[in-house]
Amino acid sequence: MSSRGEEQSFISDARRTQIIEATIVTLNEIGFVRASLAQIAKRAGISTALISYHFGDRMGLINRTIQTLIEDNASFVLERTKAGRNCRERLHLFIISSLEYQETYPERFVALVEIVFNARTPDNIPYYMLNDDNDAEPLLLELRTILREGQESGEFGDFDLMIMANTIQGAIGEHAAPGVATRMDAASYGAELVRIFDRAVSPLPARQP
Amino acid sequence: MSSRGEEQSFISDARRTQIIEATIVTLNEIGFVRASLAQIAKRAGISTALISYHFGDRMGLINRTIQTLIEDNASFVLERTKAGRNCRERLHLFIISSLEYQETYPERFVALVEIVFNARTPDNIPYYMLNDDNDAEPLLLELRTILREGQESGEFGDFDLMIMANTIQGAIGEHAAPGVATRMDAASYGAELVRIFDRAVSPLPARQP
Amino acid sequence: MSSRGEEQSFISDARRTQIIEATIVTLNEIGFVRASLAQIAKRAGISTALISYHFGDRMGLINRTIQTLIEDNASFVLERTKAGRNCRERLHLFIISSLEYQETYPERFVALVEIVFNARTPDNIPYYMLNDDNDAEPLLLELRTILREGQESGEFGDFDLMIMANTIQGAIGEHAAPGVATRMDAASYGAELVRIFDRAVSPLPARQP
Amino acid sequence: MSSRGEEQSFISDARRTQIIEATIVTLNEIGFVRASLAQIAKRAGISTALISYHFGDRMGLINRTIQTLIEDNASFVLERTKAGRNCRERLHLFIISSLEYQETYPERFVALVEIVFNARTPDNIPYYMLNDDNDAEPLLLELRTILREGQESGEFGDFDLMIMANTIQGAIGEHAAPGVATRMDAASYGAELVRIFDRAVSPLPARQP
DNA sequence: AATGAATGAGTTTTCATTCAT
DNA sequence: GATGAATGAAAACTCATTCAT
């Protein structure tokens, strides 16, 4: 509670933020495999020992970084999504704001991918295999909620919730695929995704000629 | 033509195959980052020097492995897909046989993912950013062909070719997502994907009630 | 200016000096080819990683070592040579003090030879082919200066400057040749060299009977 | 005695010669340190195992190579030197033909230097420290003989035999020093050396004005 | 005579981490 | 809070050599 303690905390927080930002830059420039503490420290302009001091060990830093990345992305998208007045609109907003985030902070998306697809727990479980259904992945949960409520309200037709949610999220991530982002900006890509999934989630109009 | 030359080639080829298989196992067990030559050699029951002898260097091995993985997957799927009598059927077969491959050789899919998302060229370009539209990625090309021909024949409606192709391929890969494969076998998952994308590619039925 | 900064610098400098001395010892004992970082570290009583830490890489260490060796030798000889009151005297002092240095620090001379005749640049240019006329080789430059000034003052006769300089320097180095140093100490060897080159540089008395 | 045996011997000899030539090329291109059997075999267009087969081990090859180089050089120079009708003439011929050899076969001289200054015996004695006075070094022996006989005949004055011999031989080698050979061809360099050492070996003319 | 296959030993270098200051 | 110093471990790679063929 002492002002000294707060002051130190401020400094610590700033340092941690700085290091995490340097980590994101490093992941973009040279990838997870080569992102050693030395490389990160160089980009942060500090010593490697200071990273260990603030994050305990390397995986501590990685975990804090991915946590930051997920939270940032989630808060950005969730804030914009909740403005939707019905499920279809919320789905549209989800797609569009997700792409807007990717376009605005491309390096954050790359850093996220680098960690998720490279990091493993000490017992060798890949991070991309970790997310048990309830924990983490707030965006996937939100997407499922939108879809479920849409089905319950009759706005959407019949489909498997998890599959549709994963498919939509996967499609969003594909904007970063090689050749795609260079060919089409996030808004156009989003518009097309909206068209595609509008049809995909619709209540079976194809069978009612 | 001498039996000597063939014999030696047999030995070499067999060794190379054995090492690539050990690489796939290693990538599954401990991931790309920890898949050192020592770990691979241990699983193959040989010395690390022998790997260098047969593949030049580590990236030589990685590149040969990914090439094998892509070719195997492609030939499996393409062979089954070509049996389709129209574009919709070929799309169905593409989805179903892709999932069948993933379910039959899950460790091959994981190995592919590990390499694609972790390897980088010497100038730090991620492998997942490499594929220019024409080169490599035979399955993505086939998928685009199916979709394009479907549009030309009127079987399919209007949508962006690349986006739809990427979306479908992404959705197929999501079968390996945590919780999905445990909840649903490849056949069921495929059936659901077929339903979803049948609607998504249909010629605008949603707007014709 | 802080005692902290100086202290740390002291530690680093001392370490670097210690490592260079261990390098010289190693070069004498087992030669350039076998002088691995491990061998040097063993003699210095430290880890190989510490060498890399202080010198970047192996060639960094080698280059710093040779630089030290050349500077030490040059300052020893130049200091004694400048006491000469005319060119002939300076030439005598140059020869004698060079041999004195070799006799006093024989291991430094060996280390220098080991590096110069074994090291190559990354593009395979031998170190013994590197010295362009102006750069480096301060002793050779001094020798040429003495000879040139002696010619200009009339103390010395006509001869090619570079050839005579190289010949004298070569002759000095030959004291370390097998059988020579064991047969004759530096002072006697120097006296004989002085006699020889006194005649060699003299203004053609042989043709003026 | 069988023609088969001779034939094989022919093949063996040719092979050995070929490998030694490849060794010389390799030593020139990349130096002793990097001249591995693999590099030599590559340049010879054969397998490394064949080198081991013909020379036992690496040092066997090196020793045969240096032996060849020394013999070639010696026979070239000795043949030309013996034509001299007195000691002074033989000294001139020795100097001139030595330089002619160096200019004609520069890569042989470099290879010799690379081996002599880099190779060490198993108990770490440098090759450049090996030559006991009688053995090997036929050219140094010849040079000493010329000088001794010149002194005995009165053609030459008083000087230390070994020192003068080493000095002359060192001066000859300096033609390969950086900047020298490019500035002056072997004939001019030889002429200047002859002038210099004519004075140096003369019977004390400097003291008789 | 010749080679491909194979390996153990050894190379340099980088790494994450600890510790005294 | 911050750093320079230091290290053991591990990385990829190269080497000389052996051996079966």
**Residue C33 at interface with chain D, using a CB cutoff of 8 Å:** yes
Q: Phi/psi of residue A126, each to 5°?
A: -65, 145
**Residue C153 at interface with chain D, using a CB cutoff of 8 Å:** no
Residue-averaged pLDDT of chain C? 90
The pLDDT of residue B116 is above 70: yes
Q: Check: CB of residue C92 under 8 Å from CB of residue C44.
A: no
Q: Cβ within 7 Å of strand E: which of A 53-72?
A: 57-59
pLDDT for position D204 = 67
| Core vs surface per residue B83-106: b (16+ CB within 10 A) or e | eeeebbebbbbbbbbbbbbbbebe
Residues of C in contact with D163 (CB under 8 A): 171, 174, 180, 184, 189, 192-193, 196
pLDDT for position D8 = 56
Mean pLDDT of B149-172: 95
**Residue A181 at interface with chain B, using a CB cutoff of 8 Å:** no
Mean pLDDT of D10-16: 85
**Residues in contact with D87: Cβ distance below 8 Å, sequence separation at least 6, in sequence order:** D146, D147, D149, D150, D153, D155, D156
Q: A64-78, B141-155, C16-30, C176-190: which range is least confident on average?
A: C176-190
What's the CA gap between D113 and C34, in Å, rounded? 18
Mean pLDDT of D107-135: 89
**Which of 1.10.357.10, 1.20.1260.10, 3.40.1670.10, 3.40.220.10 is the CATH number of B67-202?**
1.10.357.10
Is any atom of nucleic acid chain E found less than 7 Å from the CB of residue B47? yes
Nearest to C200 by CA among D166, D205, D139, D183: D205
B35-94 tens-digit pLDDT: 999 999 999 999 999 999 999 999 999 999 999 999 999 999 999 999 999 999 999 999
| DSSP structure class, residue A24 | H
Q: Check: CB of residue A189 under 8 Å from CB of residue A180.
A: yes
Residues of D in contact with C28 (CB under 8 A): none
What distance in Å separates residue A124's CA from the closest CA in chain B?
A: 5
pLDDT for position C7 = 52
Q: Do A208 and B204 touch (CB under 8 A)?
A: no
**Residues in contact with D197: Cβ distance below 8 Å, sequence separation at least 6, in sequence order:** C200, D91, D95, D168, D171
Q: Check: CB of residue D178 under 8 Å from CB of residue C125.
A: no
What distance in Å separates residue C5's CA from the closest CA in chain D?
A: 40
The pLDDT of residue C147 is above 50: yes
Nearest residue (CA) to C1' of E18: A49
Residue-averaged pLDDT of chain A? 91
**Residue A189 at interface with chain B, using a CB cutoff of 8 Å:** yes
What's the CA gap between D209 and D206, in Å, rounded? 7
The pLDDT of residue C29 is above 60: yes
- Tokens read off for C194: 């002085």
For chain A, percent of residues with pLDDT exceeding 90? 83
For chain C, percent of residues with pLDDT exceeding 90? 82
Sign of CA dihedral A70, A71, A77, A78: positive
Q: Phi/psi of residue D24, each to 5°?
A: -60, -45
Q: Do B209 and A205 touch (CB under 8 A)?
A: yes
- Tokens read off for A97: 């704001």
The CATH code belonging to domain A1-56 is 1.10.10.60
Residues of A in contact with B117 (CB under 8 A): 113-114, 117-118
Cα angle, residue D200 at apex, residues C194 and D101 outer, rounded to 5° = 115
Reported as a pLDDT band with limits 50, 70 and 90, residue A56 is very high
pLDDT for position B193 = 96
Looking at the domain covering C66-204, what would its CATH class be? mainly alpha
| DSSP structure class, residue C136 | S
Q: Do A167 and B171 touch (CB under 8 A)?
A: yes
- Our answer on whether D and C touch (3+ beta-carbon pairs < 8 Å) is yes
pLDDT for position D28 = 97
The pLDDT of residue B8 is above 60: no
Q: Do A196 and B33 touch (CB under 8 A)?
A: no
Q: Phi/psi of residue D120, each to 5°?
A: -135, 150
DSSP secondary structure, B78-104, as one string: HHHHTT-SSHHHHHHHHHHHHHHHHHH
- Tokens read off for D3: 């023609």
Cα angle, residue B96 at apex, residues B94 and B98 outer, rounded to 5° = 65
pLDDT for position A163 = 94
The Å distance, CA of D34 to C1' of F16, is 13
Domain ranges of chain D: 1-56, 66-203
Strand F positions closer than 7 A to protein CB: 1-21
Option in C126, C171, C178 nearest D31 (CB): C126
Q: Check: CB of residue D88 under 8 Å from CB of residue D150.
A: yes
Determine the topology of domain D66-203 in CATH: Tetracycline Repressor; domain 2 (1.10.357)
Which of D26, D29, D58, D160 has the highest number of chain C CBs within 10 A, making it the mutation to test binding with C? D160
Q: A73-82, B85-94, B199-208: which range is least confident on average?
A: B199-208
Mean pLDDT of A101-118: 96
Q: Do C196 and D196 touch (CB under 8 A)?
A: no
- Tokens read off for B130: 């490499």
Q: Check: CB of residue A18 under 8 Å from CB of residue A44.
A: yes
pLDDT for position C209 = 39
Residue with tokens 């000795």: D78
Q: Check: CB of residue C157 under 8 Å from CB of residue C201.
A: yes
Option in D160, D179, D192 nearest C133 (CB): D179
pLDDT for position B132 = 62
What's the CA gap between C90 and D196, in Å, rounded? 20
The pLDDT of residue B2 is above 50: no
Note the pTM of the prediction, 2 decimals. 0.90
C91-140 tens-digit pLDDT: 999 999 999 999 999 999 999 999 999 999 999 999 999 876 556 689 99
Reported as a pLDDT band with limits 50, 70 and 90, residue A208 is very low
CA atoms within 13 A on the CB side of B95: 28
- Tokens read off for D27: 């030593």
The pLDDT of residue A170 is above 70: yes
Binding-face residues of B in 157-176 toward A, CB within 8 A: 159-160, 162-164, 166-167, 170-171, 173-174
